[in-house]
């Protein structure tokens, strides 16, 4: 009967020992190891992935001959950008839409949290606004803009750095002075983009004992 092969996970670029067999050696509580025995599969899981987790990982099997697989983990931090600027000027009485879009997401965004001057507005019942959310975008619709709608709007997708947009509600003469030469309509629209390759809450790296290095 062949002796059981011992599988070791290390963060090789830092010479950090993570696991040996099913035992965790790092003091970092975000690492987990699981062993699917009938498939000879060893899985390293990382919870709450951070930018510092990026780097080289090695799965080594203490067999004869020695076998190893190498993985390069790239973590892209979710961050918000506003391509058309961080401020919007609108006159009172129009219908306004403020949009937040997620680009480069690794999975659909489950929640978009919206704030107006620091107060959550997703489920607001006191203001004439509506929040609509899809897999990769969300927007706030204000049916009849008033002075009370002025201020900072924050779009905070789950596990992404938020984006801010400041709304200035103007009198007609102020709007005319600021937007001279632009066409005047009955509606205004602002787009705030969120660059979010939102890293997953869990990262799973699998090492299959006996697998080819090309897998």
Examine residue 214 and state whether it is found in any structural domain, yes or no. Answer: no
Specify whether 59 is located in the same domain as 86: no
Specify whether 68 is located in the same domain as 129: no
Examine residue 1 and state whether it is found in any structural domain, yes or no. Answer: no
Q: Give whole-number Cα distances, 76 to 34, 145, 154, in Å.
A: 25, 37, 21
Selection from 12-26, 121-135, 199-213 with the highest mean pLDDT: 12-26
* Rg of the chain on CA atoms, in Å: 25
Specify whether 67 is located in the same domain as 91: no
The DSSP line for 103-118 is ES-SS----EEEEETT
Specify whether 135 is located in the same domain as 186: yes
Tokens describing residue 58: 């090695």
Residues 73-122: tens digit of each pLDDT: 998 877 766 666 689 999 999 999 998 888 777 778 888 999 999 999 99
pLDDT of residue 189: 39
Tell me which of 77 and 70 has the higher pLDDT.
Answer: 70
Specify whether 140 is located in the same domain as 53: no
Specify whether 64 is located in the same domain as 125: no
pLDDT of residue 198: 44
Specify whether 120 is located in the same domain as 105: yes
Instruction: Inform me whether the pLDDT recorded for 132 exceeds 80.
Output: yes
Residues 4-50: tens digit of each pLDDT: 678 999 999 999 999 999 999 999 999 999 988 777 889 999 998 88
Specify whether 186 is located in the same domain as 108: yes
Specify whether 29 is located in the same domain as 122: no
Domain assignment of residue 185, given as a range: 79-195
pLDDT of residue 27: 92
Examine residue 215 and state whether it is found in any structural domain, yes or no. Answer: no
What total number of domains does the chain contain? 2
Tokens describing residue 63: 């067999």
């Amino acid at each position: 009967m062949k002796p059981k092969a011992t599988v070791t996970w290390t963060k090789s670029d830092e010479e950090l020992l993570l696991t040996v067999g099913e035992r965790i050696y790092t003091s970092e509580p975000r690492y987990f190891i699981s062993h699917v025995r009938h498939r000879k599969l060893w899985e390293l899981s990382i919870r709450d992935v951070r930018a510092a987790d990026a780097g080289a990982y090695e799965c080594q099997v203490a067999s004869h001959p020695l076998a190893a697989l190498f993985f390069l983990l790239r973590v892209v931090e979710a961050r918000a950008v506003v391509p058309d600027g961080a401020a919007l000027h609108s006159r009172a009485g129009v219908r306004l839409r403020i949009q937040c879009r997620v680009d480069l997401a690794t999975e659909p965004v489950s929640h978009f949290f919206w704030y107006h001057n620091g107060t959550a507005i997703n489920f607001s019942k006191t203001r004439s606004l509506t929040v609509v959310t899809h897999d990769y975008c969300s927007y706030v619709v204000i049916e009849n803009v008033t002075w009370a709608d002025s201020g900072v709007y924050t779009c905070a997708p789950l596990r992404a750095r938020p984006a801010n947009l400041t709304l200035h509600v103007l009198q007609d003469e102020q709007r005319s002075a600021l937007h001279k030469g632009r066409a005047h309509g009955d509606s205004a629209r602002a787009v705030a983009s969120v660059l979010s390759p939102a890293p997953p809450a869990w990262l799973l790296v699998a090492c299959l004992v006996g697998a080819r290095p090309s897998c």
